[in-house]
Amino acid sequence: MEIVQHKNDIWGQEVLLGVSWDLLWLVVVASFAVIIVHLLVMALRKRAEQPATEGTRLNRHAKSDRIFHWVMAISTLVLLFTGILPIIGVKFGWLTIHWISGIVLTASVLFHIVRALFWQDPLSMWVAPKDLREPFDSSQKPGKYSLAQKGMHLAMTLVVLVVIGSGLVMLSLIDTPFWTRGAWLGEGALGWVFVLHGLSTLALIALSALHIYFGVRPEKLFYTRSMIKGWISEPELEAHHDPARWMPDKIV
């Protein structure tokens, strides 16, 4: 199985086309394998009692952050479906939907970066040495975000920035209502942009699959609820977080 695909043109020159889409099936199978293994492990484990959802409600996500999250989620899913379906043979006019979703994703990520840097605590998402003890010490509870959440955010950040960067280069090379296509990039460099876009897309598929899976796991469902409604209960805070490291405001 090859990682990238080439084509020999009529003069025998090798042209780099992009990532080999055989990898798509590898990523899909690997993602499902991880999910199935996790399902089996969790099924064998004794199920912990879930903390009560009653009691004082504590603010976990502001409305603007929730809106950002779901706009980003929807645009990412639209990008994945419009990008991948034509590759597996579903034919439709995908390109306009794809690049508009890409613009929406880019705008929402820019909003998030500005908000996180100037109105929030960006360090709350960075992995600190103390966080690394979490997987090995059950008494070690996280602050607002667990090590797994920080790891997912870090990976998503890297992958989304690559997919946006390469996507914007590709967008500049097609006609839109706002500009006519440029021809500023050589064929070889363009091939590498397609490779980056393809690899980051494959990573995004895997990360999205895992993110959605963990988002709907029974013991994590309260996080998904907090991303919809904004709050977690006080018992949930005490069960899953260290109030000394993160004490959210009460919702009155």
Partner 1 sequence: MSAHDVMPDIELYQPITVEDAVALAERHGENGWLLAGGQDTYGWLKDRAKHTSAMIDLNAIDALKGIRELAGGIEIGALTSLTEIQNNSSVVAKFGLLAEAVAHVASPQIRNMGTLGGNLVQDTRCWYYRRGLSCYRAGGNTCYANTPEGMNREHAIFGASRCVAVTPSDTAPALVALEAQMVIVGPDGERIVAAEDFFVGPNVDIRSMTTLETGEVLTAVRIPGKWATSEYYFEKVADRNVWDFALVSVAAVMKLNGGNITDARFACGGVACVPQRLPAVERAVIGKPRNDETGLAAGAIASNGAVTLNYNHFKVPLIENLVRRAVRG
- Residue numbers at the binding site for partner 1 (CB under 8 A): 7, 9-11, 15, 17-18, 86, 91-96, 173-175, 181, 183, 187, 190-191, 194
Q: Beta strands 14-19 and 4-8: pairing type?
A: antiparallel
Q: Which two tokens stand for residue 129?
A: 């040495």
* Least CB distance to partner 1 at residue 9 (A): 5
Q: Which is nearer to partner 1, 183 or 252 (CB)?
A: 183
Q: Which is nearer to partner 1, 12 or 129 (CB)?
A: 12
* Least CB distance to partner 1 at residue 11 (A): 7
Q: What is the spatial distance between Cα 151 and Cα 23, in angstroms, rounded to a whole number?
A: 23
Helix, strand, coil percentages, rounded to 5, for the chain: 60, 5, 30
Q: Which is nearer to partner 1, 15 or 77 (CB)?
A: 15
* Least CB distance to partner 1 at residue 178 (A): 13
Q: Which is nearer to partner 1, 32 or 184 (CB)?
A: 184
Q: What is the spatial distance between Cα 224 and Cα 208, in angstroms, rounded to a whole number?
A: 14
Could you give the count of Cα atoms lying within 13 Å of 178 in the half-sphere of its Cβ?
A: 7
* Least CB distance to partner 1 at residue 2 (A): 15
* Least CB distance to partner 1 at residue 195 (A): 10
Q: Which is nearer to partner 1, 95 or 114 (CB)?
A: 95
* Least CB distance to partner 1 at residue 165 (A): 16
CA distances to 31, 32, 219, 245 from 213, in Å: 10, 10, 12, 27
Q: What is the spatial distance between Cα 150 and Cα 158, in angstroms, rounded to a whole number?
A: 12
Q: Which is nearer to partner 1, 18 or 167 (CB)?
A: 18
Q: What is the spatial distance between Cα 31 and Cα 237, in angstroms, rounded to a whole number?
A: 30
